[in-house]
Amino acid sequence: MNVIAALVAGYICFSLELGLRKAIAIGAAGVSPSFAFILCVVICLSASPQAALWTCLFVGLLTDLTWPHELVSGVSTQTFIGPYAIGYLVAGQFVLSVRRDMFRGNPLTLGVLCAVGLAIAQIVIVALYAFRSGYTPELEWQPTSQLLVRLGVALYTGVVGVVVGIFAGPLTSALGVHQAPQRRFTRPIY
Amino acid sequence: MSRLPHQSTTGRLLMPSIVVLLILLSLFKRSWLGWVNSVANIPTAILTPGSAVVSTAAGWLLPAKRPVVTSEREKALVEELEHWKTLYQREERNNEKLRKQMAELQLGRLINPESNITQFVASVVGMSSDLSSGLLRVRAGESLGVTAGTVAVTDGVQIVGRVLSVSGPTALVQPITRKGAPKIAGRVMVDEPNNIGLQCLLEPIGTRFRAAVQAPDASAANASRLVVEPGQTVRLDDDRWPESSQRFVVGKVESVEVDPANPLRVIAIVVPTVEIERISEMTLRIVNDRGEERAGGGGKP
């Protein structure tokens, strides 16, 4: 994988994610897609497992660090580290485990994997924060409503993932990730 | 996890070690994570320029909805009208306050000196990365005097929110409508020309407020005329906010219904005059007079 290209792509994705959210958000809950996670799935679909997992971990860590929580007191914020990194890592492992059985050339593949992968990541994130809220009274956390909003986010990301999937070929080439030719009737022996 | 054959022992152990560390960090007590806020400033500072470009472009392409005005002159007149209304309302409140202060002075207390406000426009450069968060990041930092509790407004008098935290060159603003934001005490101006309003408590519910309006005093002469109706302006009347922001506009009444649990109480849905989450810039009002800030609940949201 071309690390510099991946860093540039990551910067663009985070810029889109942080800057475009308010413009394309849907509903009162502000459901909007995660461009950074789409990049993770694109890399997970084609790159080596190590590169894919490190990317997920790095992107998740950056997401953690750029999310300051409002505390119940309303007078300050606190950044928590870990939940997104772990959630994205689990999602990345999921994509790695199913990618052999997917038609990577089909844009729908990216969309479906983005939706399902992000749903898995969000379940992990909500679970970790729900656990934390048990002994962090300053953190207001309503798991059910959070999960519903986040599943909406996963669906929206899936839809955007289909659009990105159309350009996935040039994108993977630019990122320098290896995409092995798929075998139609036999599975490769590892 | 797949493993490459040429990996060393250190390489094989690195990923699981980091995962274990992250799991521990994600479960640490909040008091042990104070240092994370400082670390988080680094990626935020790096990512802010990119998100600012995208945010500005998005603001041009999809501007926030504002009341329809046909011409520049009409727009100027509307703004001027709101400006004078606000000044009038504030003077009324100041008069009331002065009367109280005079009484206090007789008891030997000092009157606070007049407030000194600095205003400047700050552009919205993005939001926080979590998809369910609604905090707005603006390009204005400590060097400009922004502190936690600084009030943000738009269109001159529409309150946007208060600064929650400042990190280097940027600050996070918590929109007043954000679910989870503190409740606001306001006043529904049922008879604005005569400066008559009904007290209400505004609960943020996302992009609008649910306001429980206090019934007018039945003994008042014109109590029957004091009816909450759609279109009426709701103004700030909350001692926890700085004095200089009192009587600023919180929003307009969109709909009214009788509280099913208490038929004597009215529930109004109040909507800000602008879509707060989609504005591209806002005005920050910095109170130079610390005395006033203390009077406004310590200047904290």
Please give the pLDDT value at position B294: 44
Mark yes or no for CB contact A16/B23 under 8 Å.
Answer: no
Rounded Cα gap, residues B53 and B126, in angstroms? 9
Give CA–CA dist A138/B8, Å, rounded. Answer: 43
Contacts of A11 in chain B (CB under 8 A): 47, 50
Collect the ranges in chain B with pLDDT lower than 50: 1-2, 104-105, 107-114, 293-301
Residue B74: predicted pLDDT: 81
DSSP labels for B96-144? Answer: HHHHHHHHHHHTTPPPPPPP-EEEEEEEEEEE-SSTT---EEES--GGG
* Residues B237, A131: Cα–Cα separation, whole Å: 38
Contact yes or no for B1 and A74 at CB 8 A:
no
Instruction: Give residue-wise pLDDT tens across range A22-56.
Output: 778 887 777 888 899 999 999 998 888 888 999 99
- Test A22 with B127 for CB contact under 8 angstroms: yes
Query: Cα separation of B215 and B238, whole Å?
Result: 18
What pLDDT does B202 receive?
A: 92
Report the relative pairing of strands B249-258 and B233-236 from DSSP bridges: antiparallel
CA dist B145 and B287 (Å) reads: 9
Q: Say if the Cβ atoms of A74 and B22 lie within 8 Å.
A: no
Measured in whole angstroms, how far is the alpha carbon of residue B38 from the centre of its chain? 24
pLDDT on residue A168: 76
User: What pLDDT does residue B279 have?
Assistant: 82
- The C-alpha of B130 sits at a distance from chain A's nearest C-alpha, in angstroms, of 5
Minimal CA–CA distance to B245: which of B140, B93, B110, B137?
Answer: B93
Number of A–B residue contacts, CB under 8 Å? 196
Instruction: Give the C-alpha distances (Å, rounded to integers) separating A152 from A16, A144, B25.
Output: 18, 12, 28
Q: What is the pLDDT of residue A143?
A: 83
Mark yes or no for CB contact A15/B54 under 8 Å. Answer: yes
Instruction: Give CA–CA dist B160/B152, Å, rounded.
Output: 5
Digit-coded pLDDT (tens) for B194-248: 888 888 999 988 888 998 888 776 666 666 677 888 889 999 998 888 888 888 8
What distance in Å separates residue A68's CA from the closest CA in chain B? 7
Is 0.90 topped by the overall pTM? Answer: no
Q: Compute the CA torsion angle B257, B258, B264, B265 (nearest 10 deg).
A: -50
Closest CA to A80 of A136, A151, A147, A38: A136
Per-residue model confidence (pLDDT) at position A38: 92
Q: Which residues of chain A have pLDDT under 50?
A: 190
Do the Cβ atoms of B2 and A16 come within 8 Å?
no
Question: Is some CB atom of chain A closer than 8 A to the CB atom of B126?
Answer: yes
Enter the ipTM.
0.82
Q: Which of residues 19-78 of B touch A (CB under 8 A)?
A: 19, 22-27, 29-30, 33, 36-37, 39-40, 42-44, 47, 50-59, 61-62
Compute the residue count for chain B.
Answer: 301
